[in-house]
């Protein structure tokens, strides 16, 4: 069994100080001391015109998942994979994973093209335990979002949502198209005879991209890099979230401290983190009991299991709050 004994040290030069806590604490990226892998830098990803132009195709290849009274449209995985592999030069990370028949290439591709079963567990838990109207105006981070279904649900219920995934390919080819399928469009006709520039402008006007990007943000890259980038960003003035959702992200024990550090940097004082995961990940070493040991030794969060299933591979939802 993996055992962790990370000590969180105080670093006066670290930018992350949770000013809302009664006693100020600082968080450092303790995982950087042992993890020498080169992870992708974080960057903000925008909604591209190409995605908007392809929406009709996406709609034809989409299905609907009903969560309580909230329908969520998302593109069928099979169609996405075929489309992505046919354009491998533009989507090298997902294409490489598909060609090697792998759900995981550490540091290159982290499984974002699939909808994992724990994501639906968390969706159903949210629908049963929290009324949809509660999300209106809340700030939500869908961390390691993949297809983005958790964040889309919150957005459909009125939340401001950050979608974060390690791979930019996943955001541009999967997350953002799925999000746009769930956005209400403005009824403004597009002149078929207009030139390319005018067409691009009219497509953007139909969706009011500027307004959308007040409530929808997309970031790729390493978790800690994302936390650092958005904390320094002038446009993200609050920097904290009421809820952080993450599903199937604890499979690699080497990344778990980084995950906790990101929670600490981005969660509001009375915020809640919901972690949906398998009890144990065979072949890679991670699991919820081992993750709980890390949380205990880390000493910054309290946690409890709020949902579990013993059917098939054990799955659970863990709730974290500040101590």
pLDDT for 213-257, tens place per residue? 889 999 999 999 999 999 866 555 568 999 999 999 998 898 899
Domain boundaries, the chain: 30-322
Residue 128: pLDDT over 90: yes
DSSP state of 172: I
- pTM for the whole structure: 0.78
Structure tokens at 100: 């090697």
* CATH number belonging to domain 30-322: 3.40.50.150
Of 7-11, 136-140, 163-167, 256-260, where does mean pLDDT reach its minimum?
A: 7-11
DSSP H helices, the chain, are 49-53, 55-60, 77-86, 92-99, 117-129, 149-156, 168-170, 176-181, 196-207, 209-215, 223-232, 253-266, 288-298
Residue 100: pLDDT over 60: no
Of 103-107, 113-117, 125-129, 268-272, where does mean pLDDT reach its minimum?
A: 103-107
Q: How big is the CA angle at 150 (ends 46 and 122), to the nearest 5 degrees?
A: 160
Structure tokens at 286: 């991670």
Q: What is the pLDDT of residues 273-307, one digit of tens each?
A: 999 999 998 877 789 999 999 999 999 999 999 99
Q: Determine the pLDDT at residue 163.
A: 97
Structure tokens at 272: 């809640």
Q: Let me know how long the chain is.
A: 323
Structure tokens at 207: 């969706």
Q: What is the pLDDT of residues 69-83, one digit of tens each?
A: 999 999 987 665 665
């Amino acid at each position: 069994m993996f055992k962790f004994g990370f000590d969180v040290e105080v670093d006066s030069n670290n930018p992350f100080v949770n000013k809302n806590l009664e006693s100020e604490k600082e968080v450092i990226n303790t995982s950087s001391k042992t993890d020498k892998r080169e992870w992708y830098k974080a960057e903000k990803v925008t909604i591209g015109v190409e995605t908007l132009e392809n929406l009709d195709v996406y709609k034809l290849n989409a299905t609907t998942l009903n969560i309580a009274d909230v329908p969520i449209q998302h593109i069928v995985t099979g169609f996405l994979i075929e489309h992505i592999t046919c354009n491998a030069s533009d989507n090298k990370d997902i294409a490489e994973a598909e060609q090697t028949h792998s759900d995981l290439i550490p540091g290159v591709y982290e499984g974002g093209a699939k909808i994992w079963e724990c994501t639906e567990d968390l969706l159903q838990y949210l629908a049963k335990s929290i009324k949809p109207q509660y999300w209106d105006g809340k700030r939500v981070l869908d961390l390691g979002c993949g297809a983005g279904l958790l964040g889309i649900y919150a957005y459909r219920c009125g939340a401001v949502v950050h979608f974060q995934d390690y791979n930019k390919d996943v955001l541009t080819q999967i997350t953002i198209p799925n999000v746009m399928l769930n956005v209400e469009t403005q009824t403004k006709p597009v002149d078929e005879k207009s030139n390319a520039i005018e067409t691009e402008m009219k497509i953007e006007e139909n969706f009011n991209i500027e307004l959308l990007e007040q409530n929808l943000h997309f970031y790729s890259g390493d978790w800690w890099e994302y936390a650092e980038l958005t904390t320094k960003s002038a446009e993200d003035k609050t920097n904290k979230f009421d809820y952080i959702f993450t599903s199937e992200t604890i499979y690699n024990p080497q990344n778990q401290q980084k995950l906790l550090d990101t929670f600490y940097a981005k969660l509001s004082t009375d915020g809640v983190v919901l972690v949906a995961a398998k009890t144990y990940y065979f072949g890679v070493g991670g699991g919820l009991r081992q993750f709980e040991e890390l949380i205990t030794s880390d000493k910054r969060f309290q946690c409890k299991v709020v949902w579990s299933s013993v059917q098939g591979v054990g799955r659970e939802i863990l709730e974290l709050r500040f101590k």
